[in-house]
A and B are shown apart, each in its own frame.
Chain A
């Protein structure tokens, strides 16, 4: 089947980029600087408040018109749209997990005279990340489903090839779409297991409030 590699490449690229965005925005919302806090808050609300498919079209059709920005290629337009969207959602997970590490942990780290940075790196983050993992896994499955949208902006992923095939072999349509669904499910299975495993791990080694 053609297009599998595009689907997987888009997924991996948007996953990495979105986790990066999530951490940057998550920390931004916890910053001492009010401008950084407001700015990241604005970004998060805008991207959570509008629809991914609208954002995708906007990045693809509208952005080049506005600033004469061409996001290098269709591939990057799609990846950036997905990453900005899911990064906004996951930044809330990052922020929430950091805040839910018990207050006593921060106090104990202070009593041991750790610096702000050391408290975050040695005590808060290792516990917060454990709490983030299951949600990150869930969002990874959501992202996998979202990659199907890239066929709408001309990326030749599995759905794109399926549609082409269907338009020339009309009677085979049920088989085509069922195969595509099964393909997505097979890709999702390891992610589902990973998420379940992370859920079991997440409560261990964490002091939360």
Chain B
């Protein structure tokens, strides 16, 4: 395995008195596609939200591309990261949300252009070209000047993906990106993710309930149960040939 792009080291997370994650150790290789599955409340979403710096770990460390994410080294000691440090490391990571979170006051094109221009200082013209290219890739090249409220859920989610891709992250996080969609719109979104996955160079972590989809694109499937990693391995190992009772009873709910 090549040098990992992200490493979780004994990461715990509590919300108040409730311990949601009870010691997570996880390594993600560059370009690896990891699917996180598990019952609701098992902590899948929290894992990727910590990597996006939306939640702070209670204890443990996360390293991204050789750099501590939530900590920085000062006189040989680890101290909590400041905003400047977070911003520096966070640049490698992108995220697509369950509820899209598009900016309603901007057109679709502006949604994609705002971050490259303001965060990365990309010239306006180039930001526009890159955004148009990405929007065409997700099949929305004809909607550039529409506003989010004019789009269907599936279209919104494709814009959200283009918006994240324009920033060229090394890791992309997908937080149950199809679970807020009407069933007939799920397909178009999964199709786009599949295309992105095929291109290869970017690592992807997907929290998902679409088991067939996970089997299709993931290099590794991680099963979370009660705040711990209970099983992991190739899709065949985890989804078809597991001995674990908990895992099988979880999976049986997805078989028809």
Contact = CB atoms under 8 A, between A and B. Distances in A.
B114 A112 contact: yes
Given A113-B115, A118-B119, A108 B87 contact: no
Contact of A114 (B104, B105, B118): B118
B250 interface: no
A207 B167 contact: no
B97 A110 contact: no
Instruction: Categorize the interface residue count of chain B.
Output: 20 to 34
A105 B99 CA distance: 10
Given A118-B118, A205-B147, A113 B97 contact: no
B147 A110 contact: no
Contacts of A130: 105
Contacts of B114: 112, 122
A30 B66 CA distance: 36
Contacts of B102: 108
A118 B117 CA distance: 11
B242 interface: no
A91 interface: no
A146 interface: no
B119 A114 contact: yes
B90 interface: yes
A68 to B, nearest CB: 45
Given A107-B97, A204-B149, A113 B91 contact: yes
Interface in A89-144: 102, 104-105, 107-116, 118, 122-123, 126-127, 130
- Which of A102, A112, A118 is most buried by chain B, counting CB atoms within 10 A of its CB? A112
A111 B54 contact: yes
B227 interface: no
Given A112-B114, A116-B83, A205-B147, A105 B164 contact: no
Contact of A207 (B104, B160, B164): B104
Nearest to A114: B119
Given A108-B103, A126-B105, A127-B104, A115 B87 contact: yes
A206 interface: yes
Interface residues of A, number: 23
Nearest to B98: A104
B235 interface: no
B101 A104 contact: yes
Contact of B54 (A110, A113, A126, A206): A110
- Which of A107, A111, A122, A205 is most buried by chain B, counting CB atoms within 10 A of its CB? A111
Contacts of B164: 111-112
B67 interface: no
Contact of A113 (B147, B163, B167): B167
A204 B91 CA distance: 31
B232 interface: no
B119 A113 contact: yes
A108 B53 contact: no
Contacts of A115: 83, 87, 119
A110 B167 CA distance: 13
Contacts of B103: 105, 108-109, 122-123, 127, 207
A111 B94 contact: yes
Contact of A112 (B83, B104, B167): B167
A112 B115 contact: yes
Contacts of B149: 204-205
A111 B94 CA distance: 6
Given A112-B119, A112-B163, 9 more contacts: A104-B97, A104-B99, A110-B52, A112-B115, A114-B118, A118-B118, A204-B149, A205-B149, A207-B101
Interface of B: 52-54, 83, 87, 90-91, 93-95, 97, 99, 101-105, 114-115, 118-119, 147, 149, 160, 163-164, 167
14 contacts: A104-B99, A107-B52, A107-B101, A108-B97, A108-B102, A111-B54, A112-B114, A112-B167, A114-B118, A115-B83, A123-B103, A127-B104, A205-B105, A207-B101
